[in-house]
Amino acid sequence: MRIVSIPTRLAAFCSVSLMTLASPAFAQPTLAPMPPASEQYALQQIPPSEVLPPARPDAFVPLTAPATHHLMPGKIVFSMLVTPDLARAQQFYGTLFGWGFRPVRDGRTPRVEIILASQPIGMMVAHRLDHPRQDVPFWMPFLSTSDTATVARVTRQQGGKVMFGPKEIAGLGQTVIVSDPQQGVYAALSSWSGDPADKDTDPRLNGWSWATLLSPSPKAAAGYYQLLFNYKIIAAPEADSAQHYLLMSQDKERASVNTLPTGVEQRDHARWVQFVEVRNSASIAEKAQALGGQIIVPTHVDRDGAQIAILADPNGAVFGVIESQKDMLEGTLSQ
């Protein structure tokens, strides 16, 4: 059970103009291919303690092993970083969160799979910045679906764009990457092995804990995602902030949709921001800065007692860290 109200968390940092502070990081991303892989990208391997199911060198490790073939539409099951410097990204995130990496070579685009506690949680893909003002590093979530073709078709009907696929990604399943009607970029995945089950121990330390869509029109955005993923939408208005919505599936809170930060004009595009669960958000923010990253919104306590910070990696990709109220209370009791 989630202890802290996520919309309240986002209201706290949205009071700071995130887009103003990090406007280059929120420029419109594109997905131009990179040249064939080079050995320089495989610098950091999975630690020996990580035990993984066998996978072909050109395929990803399945999300579930053994396969369950059980899909949980709407759940965020994977993430992808698009970055111009794969080696630097591995070094940064591996040191910051203890992630392991496994090169996946298909002869085209340099990419690695991200592993945490023997579980694949995402990938990093190399991408050249041909237009630095418009083309920026970014993280995007993979939302589970049973039908990527419908995601593509409905997105086009609603005014969005299909950027990749639907196409089979070896080991993962059928994938489509789209830009929603407000230009928020995300992927939909129909995992061939099934989705990881929800656990009482979620969120996992150093794993993805939450995602929020910052939108110029939260109500319209929530409607689009409900149409595709059958979310239950819960409005969470607050007296001193604009619209906030929770997206729920399988009786679980999956993500939130929030207004763009104060001072950002409505013509600005929607952006997904993903959060990693950490034990000490302040120390992680300091460590990220020491590793060459940037603190976009400093660590602070929100109204529910959780601590959050918005950071950028050395290449400029924006992400968040969150220290839940549960962790803080446990730390207090142990002192």
Give residue-wise pLDDT tens across range 120-139: 999 999 988 777 666 789 99
Q: How confident is the model at residue 40 (pLDDT cuts 50, 70, 90)?
A: very low
| H helix runs in the chain, sequence order | 6-14, 18-21, 86-97, 148-157, 218-229, 281-290, 325-334
CA angle 168, 121, 245 (to 5 degrees): 95
Rounded to whole angstroms, the Cα distance separating 213 from 270 reads 7
Hey, how many other C-beta atoms are within 10 angstroms of the C-beta on 152? 21
In this prediction, residue 203 carries a pLDDT of 78
Q: What is the pLDDT of residue 241?
A: 53
Q: What is the pLDDT of residues 230-257, one digit of tens each?
A: 999 998 755 445 588 999 999 999 999 9
Average pLDDT over residues 153-169: 95
- Nearest Cα neighbor of 215 from 193, 184, 178, 179 is 184
Q: For 185-208, how does the pLDDT look when each residue is reduced to its tens digit (9 = 90+)? A: 999 999 999 999 998 777 789 999
**Are 154 and 166 contacting, i.e. CB atoms less than 8 angstroms apart?**
no
As assigned by CATH, the class of the 6-334 domain is alpha beta
Q: From CA 288, how far away is CA 272, in angstroms rounded?
A: 20
Q: What is the pTM of this model?
A: 0.82
The per-residue pLDDT of the chain, averaged, comes to 80
CB 291 within 8 A of CB 92: yes
User: For 316-334, what is the HEC assignment?
Assistant: CCEEEEEECHHHHHHHHHH
| All structural domains of the chain with their residue ranges | 6-334
Tell me the C-alpha distance between 202 and 254, whole Å. 12
Q: Of the candidates 231, 216, 223, 157, which has an alpha carbon nearest to the alpha carbon of residue 184?
A: 216
Main-chain phi, psi angles of 262, to 5 degrees:
-55, 135
pLDDT category at 52 given cuts 50, 70, 90 is low
Instruction: Tokens for 116, please give them.
Output: 């945490």
**Dihedral pair phi/psi, residue 21, rounded to 5°:** -70, -30
Residue 30 has pLDDT above 50, yes or no: no
**Who has greater pLDDT, 152 or 8?**
152
What is the CA angle 191-197-198, rounded to 5? 130
Backbone φ, ψ for residue 92 (5° rounding): -65, -55
Compare 57 and 163 and report the one with higher pLDDT. 163
